[in-house]
Amino acid sequence: MKHLIGKTETKKVPFMGDEVEIRKLSIKEVLDLQSLINSAAESGDQLEVLRGVLRLAVVGAEEMTNEEFDTFPPADLNAISEEIISYCGLGGKAEPAGN
């Protein structure tokens, strides 16, 4: 098992008529996301949670600004966020082993 430390699993998912690649989050990243959720709950900024999920899990979105995220339709951002949450096994249906 130790030889798998640091390995990242990804998959391609549809987004706005194209594809993006998402990563499974590590436990550390999930804990970081929980901190972000707690901060957003205090401030009431739920969009920051959505942006945080996307920055953590979408390959190539790490450096995107809030303004860049704001150019996408909210329904598409929510759909990819739900796909990420499911792929990481954090809610809804769990991803079958090996995918």
pLDDT in tens, 30-80: 888 888 888 887 887 788 889 989 999 999 999 999 999 999 999 999 999
The identity of residue 11, as a single letter, is K
- pLDDT reported for residue 94: 45
1-27 tens-digit pLDDT: 988 888 889 999 999 999 999 999 898
How far apart CA 1 and CA 73 sit, in angstroms, is: 40
Residue 95: pLDDT band with limits 50, 70, 90: very low
Helix axes 27-43, 46-57, angle to 10 degrees: 160
Tell me the domain boundaries of the chain.
8-87
